[in-house]
Chains A and B, each alone.
Chain A
Amino acid sequence: MMTIVSKQEGDMIRLTVEGRIDSNTNIEFQEKIEESFLQTKHVTIDMKDVTYISSAAIRSILIGQKSASAKDGKFVIKNASSNIKKLLDSVGLTKILTFR
């Protein structure tokens, strides 16, 4: 189960995600990231209520960061749990991503 609430805040889109981002729910997660970058160059993902991410979600996060870099925008991951941060770190993404 996962829900995403998308909100425009000035020139930034905030995606507030809740639940598990796995091989199934990641399809929507990736779509929302791609859609957001079509509309703006700054995207923030609030992961406060994300309990789980799989490698599929990591791919989407990398796509988000690449989109931001290509547009000279910002891609920010907010409130990720320590388990999620550790997972992103183990694939070398902490030095590429911006955490708040």
Chain B
Amino acid sequence: MHVLNVDADVKLLEDVNDFLNEVLVPLNCPADIQFQIEVALEEIYSNIAYYAYPNEIGPTMIYCKVEEEEGKPYLLILEIEDKGIPYNPLDQEDPDITLSCEEREIGGLGIFLVKNSMDFVSYRHENGANIFTIKKYLGYENKE
């Protein structure tokens, strides 16, 4: 288990990425999958900075675990935890991505991206903490 304790502040995004790189690079994770995981983690982390701690900078814990199957990295599990305002990003309604450019809303795409690109997403509120979990299979492309 890899753990990062970091303030929720988008200025520290590089620390979050370095942490993810330390886990994924030695695994030879395919670049397209790493890209999707980076986007998802940035989205959740920046949401915490903006919405869980709107008026202050608060702590975030990121737990990262890699499950193996037959000795090969198989599944990445990330748990992102904060003690801010209870906030479930999954409550957001999905944007209608079939609309024309003029009708499209600017916001709301981030969490939609996370839901689409990860193999599992969940949110729970436990012991005063927001806990967001994402899982992603590492070895092969996401099913179309």
Contact = CB atoms under 8 A, between A and B. Distances in A.
Nearest to A91: B109
A90 B113 CA distance: 7
Counting chain B CB atoms within 10 Å of each CB, the highest count among A56, A58, A65, A91 belongs to: A91
Contacts of B110: 54-56
Contacts of A56: 46, 110
B43 A24 contact: no
B54 to A, nearest CB: 15
Nearest to B42: A54
A86 B32 contact: yes
Contact of B116 (A52, A59, A90, A96): A90
A41 to B, nearest CB: 15
Contacts, number: 70
A55 B106 CA distance: 10
Contacts of A65: 101
Contacts of B101: 62, 65-66, 69, 96
Contacts of B95: 91
Contacts of B31: 83
B65 interface: no
Given A63-B106, A96-B101, A55 B11 contact: no
A23 interface: yes
A92 interface: yes
Given A55-B109, A83-B35, A66 B42 contact: no
A62 B43 CA distance: 17
Contacts of B71: none
Given A23-B13, A86-B32, A91-B97, A62 B104 contact: yes
A55 B10 CA distance: 13
B100 interface: yes
Contacts of B46: 23, 54, 56
A6 to B, nearest CB: 22
Contacts of B98: 92
Interface string B105-122: 011011011001100000
Contacts of A93: 97
Given A59-B109, A87-B36, 7 more contacts: A62-B101, A62-B109, A66-B102, A83-B31, A90-B113, A91-B109, A93-B97
